[in-house]
Structure formats: C-alpha cells, structure tokens
Structure 1
Amino acid sequence: MKGLIARYSIAAVVTVLGIAASLGLRAAPTEAAQKSKCISCHEKVTPGVVTQFLSGKMGKTLDCSTCHGSDHQSEKDVAKVKLPTPETCAQCHEKRVKEYREGKHALAWVSMKAMPMINHQPSAVGGGDLKGCSACHKVGEKPMADLTRYGTGACDSCHTRHTFSVKEAQDPRACRTCHMGFDHPQWEMWQTSKHGTIWEIEPTTGRAPTCQTCHMPDGNHGVMTAWGFLALRVPEDDKEWWDNRVTILKAIGVLDEKGQPTERFDAVKAAKIARLTKEDFNKERKKMIDVCSKCHSKSYAEANLKAGDDIIREVDKIFADSIRTVKGLYDDGILKKPAGWKYAPDLLQFYEAKSAAEQELYLIFLEYRQRAFQGAFHANPDYMHWYGWAKVKEAAARIKEDAERLRAEAKKH
C-alpha cells in the first residue's frame, strides 16, 4: 500500500511539473532547492515583495521570471524588467482573462482617456501617475505606450501584488478603493444597506450578498450592468423619457443638435458605457434578476429593479429640464462657448464648466443623479433620497435662479 501511494505521489508531481513546463513556467525554489537569482537578490532589495510572493499560491509553483522575464539581472538594467499584462495572466488563467475582456473593467482605461476633461488636468491629477483617475482606471487594458512601472497587469487591481490572492479578491472590501466617494459610492451604499449590515454581522455565513455575489456570480470576471455607469440606454419606449434622454445625450455630445450620433457615440459604444440595444439591456437585467431570485422571489426582484428604473426616469425629467435652461443661455448668447469646446453645454468637461449654472449641472450629472439611481439599486433609501433625489432638486432650483440672474444682467447691457 505504501509503495502504491509513493508511486502515485511521484506520478502526481511529474504531471504537475509537466503541465508547468508546457506553459513555459518555472518552478519556484523550495527550502531544499537553491533559490532563484530573483529571490536571492530581492530578499535584500525588496524583502516585503518576496515575503508576499512566497506566501501566496503562485509563489509555490512559479518564479518571478515567469511574469517579469529574465532579461533584468542587476540593478543597472532594471529597465529590462518585463511588465505583466493580462496576456501574462492568460498563460494560466485563460478563461478568467477572456471573461474580464468581455466586461467593463477591461475598458476602464479607454473610458477614462475618452473624457475631454482629462485633457485639462496635470498628469499627477488625472493622467498616468496613479494619484487620481488613473489609480482606479488602471484596471483596464492599456496600449503598450501607456505601460508604466505600476498598474500594468490589470488583474492585480483586485488580486493585489504580490500574493495575488483569490480570497482577497472575493472579499467585498477589495472593491471599495475604486467604488466609493463622489460619483459612485457603491461601497458606502452597500455597506450601510441591510445587505451590508448583515454581511458585517455574519461575514462567513453567505446569508447576505456581496459585490461579487451580484456582479461576479460564480466568479465570472465579465463585470457588466444593465444601465451602465451613466444610466443611459438606447432606445426608450416611453416618449417623454426618450425626449429627456435625447436632451441628456446631446449635452454629453453623444448626439448632435439634429439628434444624430457623433464621434463620441462611437467612444461610448467602444467603452460599453451604455447599453445601445434592448437585447443588450435585457440580457444584463435577466442576469441580475437570476441572482436576486436566489434569495427573493422573481416577482420581488423584478419589482425592485423596476422601481430603480422609475427613479432614473423621474430624475431625468429634472435633469433634462435643467440642461434646457442652460442650453437656452447659450442659444441666446448669454453664455459663450469656451474656446476649444465642440459642444455647449458639455457635461463631459465635468468641473471645467465656466459658469455657476453649469457647475450645478455637472453636480447633477456626476454626483446627485448617480447617487439617486445607484442608491435605489443598492437598496439604500437614504442615499437614494437625501444624497440623490433631494440634491437634484436643490441644484435644479439654483440653476433656474442663476439663469434668471444672468438674463437680468444681460438686459442691463
């Protein structure tokens, strides 16, 4: 019996090593074996990195050179270090990388670069220095020209270096660095909802859904939502709602004055920021209903998601009316289109807006409206109402008041 077990163990080891060899992977050193040059050197240079790497599952089977290459041999040739990409991860995790590329996380870098506002910011604020927008949007795939020392692997945004832990990425707290704050406080919404409260009380029972439960069912990395980041979809059967949405789409430069698609429409399509067919919307909605129905009845799930849709419709009435108020100021020559702007008002310029009324419009667009519909879908009534709906109403009142002031001043001149 012992001989059989020994032969089986040897065969298993040979099989594992054979698979690793076929993938071009190098075995990590064991205590009994000689350490690789990478490990021996970096134990002195970056001991924390080595400790993290060897504590993780990958550190048991791979060497640093698997992901970083072997061209770098000393402190003098650090520039030769290979920067990991999703292709690097796909050597072992082909299925998950394929799923990731079908979802919106893979397009995060593209969507950031598409924002006109980003062109006005210092690099440290919005560009590539990982202190502002890029620090979260680095989860997306990037062209080789944009690869820098950090944030090049995309997968390591959730499976952080150098343990690359699956357990860490399955914890909802792994999502909160990016999904919090001004324009998308999903973490705060979920954490203070009944779902989040139950999870904090019972973090291991599975009774409460986490971010991953709803947005990555069965570990699927193709993260996508029905409404998209900006709660915009095309087309709409409700005529009043569609008219309001056309107004919104014009204000973000996706449709021109005649209602025809612009170059930005192509960018929105490429970045999957909105669902552009009923089929695409219904596909994602069905996925969410299926997830909710594991704990709730299907009718309950449908009713709650429909209530979220209704919130968007009601907010869009106020939002579109505010846009028309500001657009009227441009049409009447009271506000002048800023140099270099193709559209006015242009909501994708964000806080680069040039008037108080437009600053309020920007806040409706990126903060208050976001919180209203996201609060609804994340089962957080306070965020939906007081941080969202109420703030939309307040800002709309200030926009009307400012427009009246500007018109009165214009008459004097």
Structure 2
Amino acid sequence: MKRRRLLLPSVATALLFLGLNNLAFAADSPAKTLDEDQMAQADCVGCHINVNPGIVKQHMEGPHANTKKVEDEVRCHDCHGVDHKTMDDVEKASMPTPEICGECHKKQARQHRDGKHNLAWLAMKSQIAWHGQPGSITEQGYRGCSGCHKIGEKGLLAATQGNLGDVKRDGGKEAATYRYGNAQCDACHTRHSFKASEAMDPRACSNCHMGFDHPQWEMYTSAKHGIVWQIEGHVNEGGRAPTCQTCHLSEGDHEVRTAWGFLGLRIPTKENVLALIDVAPSLKEPLTKLAGLLPSGHYMDVDDDPQWTFDRALILQAAGILDASLQPTERFIEIVVQGQAARGPEEFNVERKKMKATCNKCHAQGFVNEHFKASDEIIKAADHEFAKAITAVQALYKDGILQKPEGWEYAPDLLQYYEAKTSIEQELYLIMLEYRQRTFQGAFHASNDYMHWYGWAPLKTAVNTILEEAKRMRAEHDSKKMAAK
C-alpha cells in the first residue's frame, strides 16, 4: 500500500502511546528509530488520543496496527489521506471506500463487488415506496432501510438499453454527496478494529437481518443451529453448530448469495411459460412473446407445474414487474435483472449445489435433499395462497370497485408498501413483506415456529380477510348501482 506523509502536533504524546503498543524504538531518542511514515502516524495519534481516544485504542488493538512487520502496518493516513493537517480542516480527511480496503484485500473486495450485498443500495432505491420517505430516514440519516442498505455501492445506475444485465456507475457522483457510509466493508468489520473474528460472529449479521421482513437472526437463534451455538459458548470457527457465515460466506466467499435469494423468487424459464399456453390458450400471444425473453433450463429439485408458474406471474404483476399483458416492465430490468432479486436456472443451480455441500458436511445427503424439497413446497404453497388474494384485488380494480390512485402506474402495487390506500391492499403488503417472507425463510432456517405461527398462519388469515373483504366491497358496490337505477 502506498504510504503518505502527514504532520500533526503532539508527537511526544503519540510516541508514548505507540510505545505502549510494542512499537520498537529507543527510549532516549525515539524519533531516530522511526521512519517518516511512522512519524506521520505518531502525528495523527498525537492529536486523536486527546480528541477521540476510543478510536485510537480500537485501532491500536486491531490487526491493522499489530502486523508481523512494522512496514506492513496500516496507518491512519493510509485510509484517511494526507490533506487533513489541523483542527480546522477536518473536512479534508478522506473517508475510506472498499477500493481503499481492496488495495490489500483484493480477493475479498472483488467478491464483495460481484456479490449481492454490493447491490443493496440499488435494490433499495428500486422500491418506489422508499422515495416517498423523509430525507432524515432515506438519505444521510441512515435510519430505516438505508441504515442497512448502505452496505451497497452508491451510484449504480440501471441500464435500459444495450445489455440489460449491465449496471452502470455514475463516476462517484452520488457517493460524493455522502461523507459517511461509503465504506461498505465496515458494515461487518466495524471500525476501527476491523477484526475478522468480529465479522465471523453471527451477531455481526443481527442488526440488519432481523425484524419485520427478514428475521433471520431470530430464526437462527430459536432453531437448533443457533441454540447449540449459544449453549457451546459462541464458537464461531470449528464449532459443532454452523453460523450465518458457515452457510452464507462458505470458505470466506464475500459474494453472499443463495439460490432463492432474498424474496424467494426465480425467473420463469422459457419452458415454464410455454407450458402455460395449454392451460390458458387465450394468453398464447403474450406468453409466447414473454417466453422469447426468458432463459431455458431446469431448476434443481424444483419442477414447476403450470399453476405455480401462473401464481408467480400474478405476484410479479402485482409488483409491477410484469405488466397487464405479462410483459417485462422497467422494474423487471432494474429489480430482477440488474438488482438480481431473482435467479435464472444456471445461477440457482450453482448456489443450491454449494449450499447442499455445506449442509452435507454434517447431515446425510438424503436428509439434506428432503429438507430443501420440503422448503420448496412451502414456497409453492405460500405463492398459491398469495395469488388468490392478488386475483381478488385485481378484479376489484378491473371492475371499477377500486380506483387507481393518482400518480400510480400500477394498481394494485405491492411496492407501494404502506402507502397503499385501502385496508385490503395493506393486507397484500403484509403478505408480501412479512408473512410470506417468514414462511419461506423460516422453512429453510429450520425455525418451525417462525415458519408456521409468524408466517403461514397469518398469511392464511390475511388471504381469508382479503377474500371476505372483496366479497363485501363487491356486494356494497352492486347495491349502490342497483339503488342508483
């Protein structure tokens, strides 16, 4: 890594502090044994040991300051630059980025850049509901969604021409408007210690992977894997119980991918869609057109029957990802293709094989296969119930009982979330983000209570509520029409 020169006051204080951290120098004349780079570090510490001693202590106790060779030490100015020299120019201190980390950690930076976490900011901004929230929540406040999704790279742009799989970059324009939150690596390796051991602890995942729509932490700790991990003293490496990292960062792979992905979606294959023509011949033209845009192939363990394909098409319609003619929209390009919210057969099969191999280290192959297939069936059942509710609400719009809100492109629109204007559509939103999520995630994480009582049970309740409310609204509408005659 390139070393930079920085001069700040209070060198004597800094040298004393550095001495306590086993830097070798002569007590009677320390400066004589410090090279220019070490002297610059001493200058930084000389001020910051008084201004914010906590971060100095964290750095000095971390791996960056405790290398086998002094010349390999990562010092303050390696990450923060050399322009900040006084108390009055702190804004000139650079904030590190993954590219800075990648100067040393090339493999991990490349994997992260190619992985799902790197798309988190793009995925968040693709949700229309996010754009209606106050700036204190969505932007530099880093509260709500942005507090976790800042692990994603800022400035990714959805391409609408050329190779639709490409994600363009804005050259740093968006990131430049954020002083903090561009250092994605510190979401797991928190500053200023940056210990690998911390990032390998499942508790490092818990502040994001918890709560309303993705309570993986609660599922893990209430299932046998997490229980054993807690009983045996939080052993993160080589323990009997797998951690989040064991399965999702297998062998240290920073891409962090799974076959089903966050939303439990897959891209329908060409064969899936063409099979629908026999079931719905009236849709032959749009289905044939859609099939021409989709990949061919077969999903490991998953044999789609036409009903499941149709159920998932309705879900994608309600999310504005497919239009009324079942054709891909701009959201399909941004969310599914570029945001990678769904997998095609080739990628799905690769990720499933990897996950099965991880499970097979402890569990018999037959048990692993049955667990995955049973979990797939739970997604299938949840999708079918969800599709019933969507069909009912779509019919209310088609018949004029519900009116499309001003400014909405699609209705119903699942991605409007809690901005939905009717109680019946609020139930749809809860099914999508809470109940269905908990159903399928609970199944794969072997958290039985979450799968059933926090997922499947309220999903069924919400579907029944929607069906009954749709009947009531239709009867009321018909009654008003009769009275008007």
Q: TM-score, normalised by structure 1?
A: 0.91
Partners of 2:338 and 2:65 in 1: CA distance: 37
Shift of 1:381: 0.7
The amino acid of 2:55's aligned partner reads V
**Residue 380 (structure 1) aligns with:** 447
**Residue 24 (structure 1) aligns with:** 2
Distance change >3 Å, CA 117–CA 239, structure 1 → 2: same
Which residue of 212, 216, 227 maps to 1:197?
227
SS of residue in 1 equivalent to 2:263: coil
SS of residue in 1 equivalent to 2:65: helix
**Residue 187 (structure 1) aligns with:** 217
Deviates more, 1:39-48 or 1:87-96: 39-48
Which residue of 397, 410, 416 maps to 1:330?
397
**Residue 43 (structure 2) aligns with:** 37
Shift of 1:401: 2.0
Partners of 2:244 and 2:196 in 1: CA distance: 15
**Residue 241 (structure 2) aligns with:** 208
Partners of 2:383 and 2:134 in 1: CA distance: 33
Partners of 1:169 and 1:26 in 2: CA distance: 28
Partners of 2:403 and 2:175 in 1: CA distance: 35
Shift of 1:296: 0.8
**Residue 163 (structure 1) aligns with:** 193
The amino acid of 1:146's aligned partner reads A
Shift of 1:78: 1.9
**Residue 151 (structure 2) aligns with:** 139
SS of residue in 2 equivalent to 1:58: coil
SS of residue in 2 equivalent to 1:59: coil
Deviations 1:336-365 (A, max 9, x none): 111111111111111111100000000000
Shift of 1:26: 5.9
**Residue 259 (structure 2) aligns with:** 226
Partners of 1:107 and 1:341 in 2: CA distance: 26
Which residue of 323, 338, 356 maps to 1:270?
338
Shift of 1:81: 1.7
Deviations 1:67-106 (A, max 9, x none): 1111111232222121211101100000001111121111
Which structure: greater helix fraction? 1
Shift of 1:292: 0.4
Deviations 1:317-376 (A, max 9, x none): 100110011111111111111111111111111111110000000000000000000000
Partners of 2:438 and 2:139 in 1: CA distance: 25
Which residue of 104, 114, 128 maps to 1:102?
114
1:397 aligns to 2:464 (yes or no) = yes
SS of residue in 1 equivalent to 2:474: helix
Deviations 1:214-267 (A, max 9, x none): 000111111001111111102253211000000001111111111111111111
- Within-5 A mapping of 1:247-286: 247-268=314-335, 269-275=337-343, 277-286=344-353
- Within-5 A mapping of 1:113-124: 113-124=125-136
Shift of 1:125: 2.3
The amino acid of 1:42's aligned partner reads H
**Residue 293 (structure 1) aligns with:** 360
Conservation of the 8 A alpha-carbon contact between 2:4 and 2:82: no
Partners of 1:339 and 1:78 in 2: CA distance: 47
Give the share of equivalent positions with the same residue, in percent.
53
Partners of 1:243 and 1:62 in 2: CA distance: 55
Partners of 2:193 and 2:403 in 1: CA distance: 54
Conservation of the 8 A alpha-carbon contact between 1:189 and 1:375: yes
**Residue 172 (structure 1) aligns with:** 202
Q: How many residues align?
A: 390
1:410 aligns to 2:477 (yes or no) = yes
The amino acid of 2:89's aligned partner reads D
Deviations 1:265-323 (A, max 9, x none): 11121111110x21111111111101000001122111101111100000001001100
Conservation of the 8 A alpha-carbon contact between 1:112 and 1:133: yes
Conservation of the 8 A alpha-carbon contact between 1:36 and 1:63: no
**Residue 58 (structure 1) aligns with:** 64
The amino acid of 1:158's aligned partner reads C
Partners of 2:96 and 2:119 in 1: CA distance: 17
Distance change >3 Å, CA 316–CA 254, structure 1 → 2: same
The amino acid of 1:399's aligned partner reads I
Deviates more, 1:289-298 or 1:398-407: 398-407
The amino acid of 1:151's aligned partner reads G
The amino acid of 1:54's aligned partner reads M
Partners of 1:25 and 1:98 in 2: CA distance: 23
Partners of 2:44 and 2:390 in 1: CA distance: 58
1:240 aligns to 2:307 (yes or no) = yes
Q: TM-score, normalised by structure 2?
A: 0.78
Show structure 2 runs of 5+ residues with no match: 6-13, 20-24, 26-33, 67-72, 156-171, 273-303, 481-485
Deviates more, 1:117-126 or 1:318-327: 117-126
